[in-house]
Amino acid sequence: MKTMDPFAIDIDLEAGIMADPKNHIIRRASDMRGYYADQQALESLIADHHDPLHYEVFEVPVPHQPGHLMYCISVLQPGSVAHECYMTKGHFHTIAATAEIYLCLRGQGCVLMKTEQGKCLTLKMSRGRMIYIPPFWAHRSVNTSDQPLVSFCVYPADAGHNYGDFAQQGFPIRIFRTHGKVHLRQP
Ligand code: PAN
Ligand code: ZN
């Protein structure tokens, strides 16, 4: 591995904003086709609301090599598709035996996690809460509030993202909010 010089970046912890990110990944509603239970409601959202912003990831990248740590700020907008709360696509890491830390900076929601063996768990997120996602657990963020859900994530830089068949299979639990009340549903 090449050596590199240390560097620093600034993060506004209140606002959850990383200064001068080099990568900005944008996911809109149209990138989420297949992920929500009500596909027709998603199509209506895309058509009627100009394909709204769903979530963004901000990074200052490091080499994707063993030994490095990748980190980012993830901002998931509030909203729902036929009452199913906005969520990220979710993924296993390509190198499945890699963990991740999510530190919630703003908002309220949860991380849904599942294993290949069919175990599924959800842990709540709120400002100051850190979630440790062990190796072999797929993960997805879900925003259950009316504010953006902002997390700072750290994971091995060579982990990679495996989105596999998440659009079709999803997670064994879906999260809905009706009249302000959050509830889980097992499809
Ligand atoms: C996070 C996620 C980010 C976006 O940085 O990549 O929240 O979610 P999707 O990758 O599922 O679209 C992470 O878990 N990185 O490994
Ligand atoms: Zn991850």
> Tens digits of per-residue pLDDT, 12-45?
998 899 999 999 999 999 999 999 999 999 999 9
Of 93-107, 120-134, 165-179, give the lowest mean pLDDT range: 165-179
Of 6-10, 58-62, 78-82, 167-171, give the lowest mean pLDDT range: 167-171
DSSP state, 8? -
Nearest atom of ligand 1 to the alpha carbon of 140: 11
Contact between 149 and 106 under an 8 Å Cβ cutoff? The reply is: yes
Q: What is the pLDDT of residues 131-162, one digit of tens each?
A: 999 999 999 999 999 999 999 999 999 999 99
Task: Name residues whose C-beta falls within 8 Å of residue 182's C-beta, 6 or more positions apart in sequence.
Answer: 85, 144, 175, 176
pLDDT at 175 > cutoff 90: yes
Mutate to test the pocket of ligand 1, among 25, 91, 130 (most ligand atoms within 8 A of CB): 91
Q: Say what the pLDDT of residue 168 is.
A: 83
Q: Say what the pLDDT of residue 89 is.
A: 97
Q: What is the pLDDT of residues 46-98, one digit of tens each?
A: 999 999 999 999 999 999 999 999 999 999 999 999 999 999 999 999 999 99
Nearest atom of ligand 1 to the alpha carbon of 155: 16
Determine if ligand 1 sits within 6 Å of the CB of residue 56. Answer: no
Q: How far apart are CA 187 and CA 172, in angstroms?
A: 7
Nearest atom of ligand 1 to the alpha carbon of 89: 11
Q: How far apart are CA 87 and CA 96, in angstroms?
A: 21
Q: Say what the pLDDT of residue 148 is.
A: 98
Residue 127, number of CB atoms within 10 A of its CB: 14
Q: Say what the pLDDT of residue 186 is.
A: 85
Tell me the pLDDT of the chain averaged across its residues. Answer: 96
Determine if ligand 1 sits within 6 Å of the CB of residue 131. Answer: no
CA angle, 110 as apex, 104 and 115 as ends, to 5°? 115
Determine if ligand 1 sits within 6 Å of the CB of residue 149. Answer: no
Query: 91 by DSSP, 3-state: which?
Result: strand
pLDDT at 187 > cutoff 80: no
Residue with CA nearest ligand 1 atom 2 = 74
Residue with CA nearest ligand 1 atom 12 = 89
Quickly state the pLDDT bin for 181 (edges 50, 70, 90). very high
State the distance from the centre of ligand 2 to the C-alpha of 179, rounded, in angstroms. Answer: 31
CA end-to-end span of the chain, whole Å? 46
State the distance from the centre of ligand 2 to the C-alpha of 139, rounded, in angstroms. Answer: 6
Task: Name residues whose C-beta falls within 8 Å of residue 49's C-beta, 6 or more positions apart in sequence.
Answer: 29
pLDDT at 167 > cutoff 90: no
Residue 2, number of CB atoms within 10 A of its CB: 5
DSSP state, 139? E
